[in-house]
């Protein structure tokens, strides 16, 4: 299994008309994910499964810095891990 977790990020062209702004949002999201991905990777690897995740930035304003994304990404990943844990492990 080469890549147990595949992640893609996106930002709406409707809210961010300039590509430079969309790219900044996506870059900040990728960095926040990279720093907080360990629990998700551990779960998926231990279960020998694969998962694909798409993260979409839906706010209408450009984040001034990555601090908010750095705070929210662990919450998002923990929710995803919890949901995957409930769906992966068989209920007895």
- Rounded CA-CA distance 22/33 in Å is 17
Q: Which domain holds residue 46?
A: 5-87
Query: Does residue 1 have a pLDDT over 70?
Result: no
Q: Is residue 82 part of a domain?
A: yes
Q: Which residue has the tokens 């893609």?
A: 8
Kindly list the distances between the CA atom of residue 19 and the CA atoms of 9, 10, 14, 63, in Å, as whole numbers in the listed order: 14, 12, 11, 15
Work out whether strand 51-57 and strand 5-11 pair parallel, antiparallel, or are unpaired: parallel
> Coil, strand, or helix at residue 1?
coil
Q: Is residue 68 part of a domain?
A: yes
Q: Is residue 60 part of a domain?
A: yes
Domain count, the chain: 1
Q: Is residue 92 part of a domain?
A: no
pLDDT tens-digit readout, 24-78: 999 999 999 999 999 999 999 999 999 999 999 999 999 888 899 999 999 999 9
């Amino acid at each position: 299994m080469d890549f147990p977790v595949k992640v893609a990020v996106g930002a709406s062209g409707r809210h961010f008309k300039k590509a430079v702004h969309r790219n900044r949002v996506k870059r900040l999201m990728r960095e926040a994910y990279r720093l907080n991905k360990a629990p998700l990777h551990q779960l998926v690897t231990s279960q020998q499964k694969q998962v694909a995740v798409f993260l979409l930035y839906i706010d209408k304003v450009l984040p001034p810095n990555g601090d908010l994304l750095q705070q929210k990404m662990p919450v998002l990943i923990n929710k995803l891990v919890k949901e995957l844990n409930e769906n992966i492990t068989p209920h007895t």
